[in-house]
């Protein structure tokens, strides 16, 4: 069945800690959470003003704390842009360190992506070859830890279906899948429904994101992703696409998490999003059960 989670990015602007996000999940009856990983230390995180997790934290201790809240990770975000020139050493180590930590904390998915811009001085073929080498190194580790590495449409290559197809075909392995994002595909100028239809059998995690009318009018086709959507899901111009994407999830009998992405503002925008997504997920699960 389809489960609902949320990305803690929703509370970046509220300067919440990760534990505050756990509390919000418990209060709102959610059992899945997604957040970014910090490979090192950060003063803003250490002071409790950033809702992500650092890889120096004890993963087993955090796992017990999350169990107390009745919450588990649906995915950890290790999305250092892999098309950047320095990704061959920064990006691959970030992913591998996140995989090891995720295994101990009880998470089996890692999110990855590319940069918004094509790398200067490289052809597309060269850039894709460089990313293939990175994914190859990371997938060697992922296989040992039984971890799925998801590719999210968020950058120059990943939001273009022809390039996403090549990336998902880098290696024939169940450990390389896709994290669908309804908002990023839309703002990049793609049709989210066609995008999901093309890669529906590769999807293992979903970001549900709407787009405000003003942002769509000003930037659609200019951006490749949205940091955090400043509209409640259901209030933007991407509603019909999101509904049709759920039709595809029903068609494939999707068994996984859809993760809410919107500006939380400490409420009430994310609560409106949750109510809207709950309705559409309940309908989707009824249809999946009736198939």
CATH of the domain at 285: 3.20.20.150
Q: Which of 157, 162, 85 is nearest to 128 (CA)?
A: 157
Task: Write down the number of H helices and E strands in the chain.
Answer: 11, 9
pLDDT at 29: 98
pLDDT confidence tier of residue 11, bands split at 50, 70 and 90: very high
Query: What mean pLDDT, rounded, does the chain reach?
Result: 97
Q: What is the pLDDT of residue 228?
A: 82
Residues 239-243, mean pLDDT to the nearest whole number: 98
Whole-angstrom CA distances from 97 to 54, 91, 212, 279 are: 11, 10, 36, 37
Q: What is the distance between the alpha carbons of residues 63 and 118, in angstroms, rounded to a whole number?
A: 38
Domain that holds residue 142: 3-290
Q: Which of 241, 238, 232 has its CA nearest to residue 274? A: 232
Give the pLDDT of residue 267.
78
* The pLDDT value given to residue 236: 97
- Which pLDDT belongs to residue 266? 78
Asked if residue 84 has pLDDT above 90, the reply is yes
Q: How far is CA 47 from the centre of its chain?
A: 25
Q: What is the pLDDT of residues 101-144, one digit of tens each?
A: 999 999 999 999 999 999 999 999 999 999 999 999 999 999 99
- Higher per-residue confidence, 229 vs 245: 245
Instruction: Determine if the pTM surpasses 0.85.
Output: yes
Q: Which of 62-76, 194-208, 252-266 has the lowest mean pLDDT?
A: 252-266
Q: What is the pLDDT of residue 17?
A: 97
Confidence at residue 225, expressed as pLDDT on a 0 to 100 scale? 96
Number of structural domains found in the chain: 1
Residue 137 is predicted with a pLDDT of 98
Distance (Å, rounded) from C-alpha 241 to C-alpha 243?
Answer: 5
Preceding amide of 142 cis, omega within 30:
no
Query: What would the mean pLDDT of 238-249 be, rounded to a whole number?
Result: 98
CA distance 65 to 243: 35
Predicted confidence at residue 227, as pLDDT, reads 84
Residue 200: pLDDT over 90: yes
- How many Cβ atoms from other residues are within 10 Å of residue 69's Cβ? 18
* Interval 86-96 mean pLDDT: 97
What is the arithmetic mean of pLDDT over 136-158?
98
Rg (alpha carbons) of the chain, rounded to whole number: 18
In this predicted structure, what is the pLDDT of residue 128?
A: 98
To the nearest 10°, the Cα dihedral for 253, 158, 258, 25?
160
């Amino acid at each position: 069945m389809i489960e609902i989670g949320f990305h803690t990015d929703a509370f970046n602007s509220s300067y919440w800690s990760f534990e505050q996000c756990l509390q919000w999940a418990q209060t709102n009856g959610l059992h899945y959470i997604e957040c970014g990983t910090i490979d090192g230390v950060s003063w803003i995180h250490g002071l409790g003003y950033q809702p992500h997790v650092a890889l120096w934290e004890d993963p087993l201790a955090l796992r017990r704390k999350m169990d107390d809240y009745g919450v588990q990770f649906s995915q950890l975000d290790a999305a250092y842009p892999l098309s950047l020139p320095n990704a061959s050493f920064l990006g691959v180590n970030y992913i591998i360190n996140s995989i090891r930590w995720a295994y101990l904390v009880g998470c089996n998915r890692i999110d990855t992506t590319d940069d918004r811009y094509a790398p200067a001085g490289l052809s597309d073929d060269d850039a894709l070859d460089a990313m293939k080498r990175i994914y190859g190194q990371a997938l060697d580790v992922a296989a040992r830890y039984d971890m799925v590495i998801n590719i999210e449409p968020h950058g120059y290559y990943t939001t273009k279906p022809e390039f996403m197809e090549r990336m998902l075909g880098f290696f024939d392995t169940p450990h390389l899948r896709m994290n669908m994002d309804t908002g990023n595909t839309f703002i990049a100028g793609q049709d989210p429904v066609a995008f999901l239809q093309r890669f529906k059998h590769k999807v293992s995690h979903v970001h549900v994101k709407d787009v405000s009318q003003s942002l769509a009018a000003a930037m659609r086709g200019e951006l490749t992703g949205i940091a955090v959507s400043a509209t409640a899901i259901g209030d933007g111009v991407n509603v019909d696409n999101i509904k049709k994407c759920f039709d595809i999830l029903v068609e494939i009998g999707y068994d996984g998490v859809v993760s809410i992405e919107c500006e939380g503002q400490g409420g009430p925008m994310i609560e409106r999003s949750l109510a809207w997504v709950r309705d559409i997920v309940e309908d989707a699960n009824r249809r999946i059960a009736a198939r």
